[in-house]
Amino acid sequence: MPIPSREALVDHLVRTRIAGEVATPRENNLSHYRKLSNGDRHYWLGIDLGDRWSDEQDVLAVMAERCGVIDDPAHRHGQDTIDPELTVAGLERMAARLRKAAEARQRVLFATGHPGALLDVHRSTADAMRRAGCEIVRIPGGLVADEGYVFQFADVAVFERGASLWHTHSPEPMNAILDAMEAEGSPLPDLVVADHGWAGRAGQRGIDAVGYADCNDPALFLGEAEGTVEVTVPLDDHVLDPRFYEPMTAFLLDAAGLNPA
Average pLDDT per block of 10 residues along the chain, 261 residues long: 94 98 97 98 98 97 98 96 98 98 98 97 98 98 97 97 95 98 98 98 98 98 98 97 98 90 53
Q: Give the 3-state DSSP-derived string for 196-238, with helices as H, strands as E and coil as C.
A: HHHHHHHHHCCCEEEEEECCCCCHHHHHHHHCCCCEEEECCCC
Identity at 132, one-letter amino acid code: A
d(CA 56, CA 148): 33
Max CA-CA distance within the chain? 52
d(CA 18, CA 68): 13
Instruction: Record the pTM.
Output: 0.97
The alpha carbon of residue 113 and the mean position of all alpha carbons in its chain are separated, in whole angstroms, by: 9
pLDDT of residue 261: 53
Q: Which residues contact 49 (CB under 8 A, 6 or more apart)?
A: 36, 219, 222
